[in-house]
Amino acid sequence: MAWIRKIVSLPLYVQILLGMVAGILVGIVALRADGGLFIQHWVRPWGQVFVRLLQLIAIPLVFISLIKGVTGLKDISKFSRIGGKTIAIYLATTCVAVLLGMFLGLIVQPGKLVDRNRVAHIQENYLSVVEEKKQISMEEQGRGPLHFLNDIVPNNLVGAAADNSKMLQVIFFAVFFGIAALTVPRGRIEPVLSLFDGLNDIILRMVDYIVKFAPWGVAALMAGLVTDTGGDMSIFGALGVYALVVIGGMFLLLLGFYPMLIHCFTRLGMKKFIRAMYPVQLFAFTTSSSAATLPVTMEAVEKDLKVSQEVASFVLPVGVTINMDGTSCYQAISILFIAQVLGIDLSLSQLLVIVLMTILSSIGTPGIPGGSYVVLTMVLTSVGIPAEGLALILGIDRPLDMLRTAVNVTGDATVAAMVDKR
Ligand code: ASP
């Protein structure tokens, strides 16, 4: 039992990696011993429980954190001065990040590197999903160009919240609610705001518990995947290329996009910016949490980039909640990768939904390690890709999480410098 205690005391990302390796080994042993059925009946369901828990928490998490994010823009006068600009720039940078992710995912197509014949087996399992998607895209062809508005504006909140694929509608309601709350005198809605603060803390604790279960969930899902693929290892090569694509995207943002924005829209030198951001990125990289990095980001932005305290104290906390460029670029690549592995072809309108969902849902991603898992299951479900596909990428996610967190905080600091210059 001492070894179990030792494993449990390891950092979570090491546990997840161990879970992945253990799952692969169990899967290989099962294949050799003809125990595929045993894995499907007795092991895989635990992985499915993990995915279901992530899906369960998705709607409350996004709903509450969005309302908290929007109502967090407390000071209406400050908001009207710099709020509009800040949010517009945040949305624009997120949009660029998502499009970059889409571009890389579609050009490199890492998911297509898996061995078609061997993986036909997994694809068969998802055949009904593929058929369903074809059906939907055929139906979509007959609809008018504005039909997507129906997918955004709900006619019933409970109906929208009851269906994981209607996430966009829940997001719409939460943003609408938050904006309306901003216009009501603060004193009148104080109890509601503190209720949401408390709910947010509870939900984040629940996410924490679910993520603690991740090593076991990943092990079970991996074992199921290995028996599904009949021991095909091309999936791991594809996974390596997928990781390289994510890393490439992150470095393009860090070393290309942000320094360019700083050069064009502020009076700061690129070198000064890169030097000032270095310790912040390192902190974000090691903690994998942009929320935990906030104090360090604030200090660097005010002291080294000489951004006024008024701007920094507004732009950065808002950014931690709503601006996640690294996360959204990564999500776009992951969704495409999972769809490619499962052999699901996405139509243009589905790609557009992914862009929209990724932009909006990155707003609901908490700035904590692995914060995007929950939101990713939600976006996957919204475009009809089985959320279990997440198992493919979780095992190697930690280093990518570290990197995207560094990108997230750099994005916030860049926007703070841009708003201050204005
Ligand atoms: N760890 C990221 C952050 O804190 C969120 C995520 O993408 O998982 O910014």
Task: Sort residue 387 into left (φ over 0), alpha (ψ -120 to 50) or beta.
Answer: alpha
- Pocket test residue of 208, 288, 390, 412 for ligand 1, highest count of atoms within 8 A of CB: 288
The more confident residue out of 135 and 279 is: 279
Q: CA 52 to CA 47: how far, in whole Å?
A: 9
Q: Which amino acid is at 178?
A: G
Most trustworthy range by pLDDT among 57-66, 246-255, 381-390: 246-255
* CB atoms inside a 10 Å sphere around CB 144: 7
Give the pLDDT score at 143.
65
Ligand 1 atom at minimum distance from 324 CA: 9
pLDDT band per the 50, 70, 90 thresholds, residue 113: confident
Q: How far is the CA of 278 from the centre of ligand 1 (A)?
A: 18
Give the pLDDT score at 134.
53
pLDDT band per the 50, 70, 90 thresholds, residue 133: low
Ligand 1 atom at minimum distance from 408 CA: 9
* Ligand 1, atom 1: closest residue by C-alpha: 369
Give the pLDDT score at 145.
60
Instruction: Kindly tell me if the per-residue pLDDT of 80 is higher than 90.
Output: no
Window from 86-100, 249-263, 319-333, 350-364 with minimum mean pLDDT: 350-364
Give the pLDDT score at 130.
53
What lies within 8 Å, CB to CB, of 419 at 6+ separation is 82, 85, 86, 89, 311, 315
Q: How far is the CA of 315 from the centre of ligand 1 (A)?
A: 18
pLDDT digits 0-9 by tens, 175-193: 889 888 888 888 898 999 9
Q: Which one-letter DSSP state was computed for residue 344?
A: P
Ligand 1 atom at minimum distance from 369 CA: 1
- Alpha helices by DSSP H, listed for 167-269, are 167-183, 186-212, 214-229, 234-252, 258-265
Instruction: Kindly tell me if the per-residue pLDDT of 129 is higher than 60.
Output: no
The more confident residue out of 230 and 381 is: 381
Ligand 1 atom at minimum distance from 365 CA: 5
Q: How far is the CA of 324 from the centre of ligand 1 (A)?
A: 8
Ligand 1 atom at minimum distance from 326 CA: 7
Q: How far is the CA of 376 from the centre of ligand 1 (A)?
A: 12
Q: How far is the CA of 138 from the centre of ligand 1 (A)?
A: 36
**Mean pLDDT confidence for 402-413:** 95
- Pocket test residue of 294, 397, 408, 410 for ligand 1, highest count of atoms within 8 A of CB: 408
- Pocket test residue of 290, 321, 373, 407 for ligand 1, highest count of atoms within 8 A of CB: 290
**Mean pLDDT confidence for 78-94:** 82
Q: Is the pTM of this model over 0.95?
A: no
Instruction: Kindly tell me if the per-residue pLDDT of 338 is higher than 70.
Output: yes
**Mean pLDDT confidence for 357-372:** 82
Q: How far is the CA of 280 from the centre of ligand 1 (A)?
A: 15
**Mean pLDDT confidence for 342-350:** 82
What lies within 8 Å, CB to CB, of 224 at 6+ separation is 27, 39, 40, 43, 44, 47, 391
**Mean pLDDT confidence for 231-239:** 77
**Mean pLDDT confidence for 119-139:** 57
* H/E stretch holding 419: helix 397-421
**Mean pLDDT confidence for 100-120:** 83
Instruction: Kindly tell me if the per-residue pLDDT of 350 is higher than 60.
Output: yes
Q: How far is the CA of 155 from the centre of ligand 1 (A)?
A: 32
Q: Which residues line ligand 1 (CB under 6 A)?
A: 288-290, 324, 327, 365, 367-372, 401, 404-405, 408
Instruction: Kindly tell me if the per-residue pLDDT of 147 is higher than 70.
Output: no
* CB atoms inside a 10 Å sphere around CB 18: 16
Q: How far is the CA of 332 from the centre of ligand 1 (A)?
A: 14
Tracing tokens 């899906």 back to the chain, one arrives at: 55
* H/E stretch holding 104: helix 84-108
Q: How far is the CA of 284 from the centre of ligand 1 (A)?
A: 9
DSSP string, 345-363: PPPHHHHHHHHHHHHHHHH
pLDDT digits 0-9 by tens, 38-50: 988 999 899 889 8
pLDDT band per the 50, 70, 90 thresholds, residue 66: confident
Contact present, 111 and 240 (Cβ < 8 Å): no
Percent with pLDDT over 70 in the chain: 88
Q: CA 305 to CA 298: how far, in whole Å?
A: 10
Instruction: Kindly tell me if the per-residue pLDDT of 136 is higher than 70.
Output: no
Q: How far is the CA of 213 from the centre of ligand 1 (A)?
A: 18
Give the pLDDT score at 192.
93
Window from 6-10, 206-210, 222-226, 322-326 with minimum mean pLDDT: 6-10
- Pocket test residue of 375, 401, 412 for ligand 1, highest count of atoms within 8 A of CB: 401
Instruction: Kindly tell me if the per-residue pLDDT of 357 is higher than 90.
Output: no
- Pocket test residue of 54, 90, 289 for ligand 1, highest count of atoms within 8 A of CB: 289
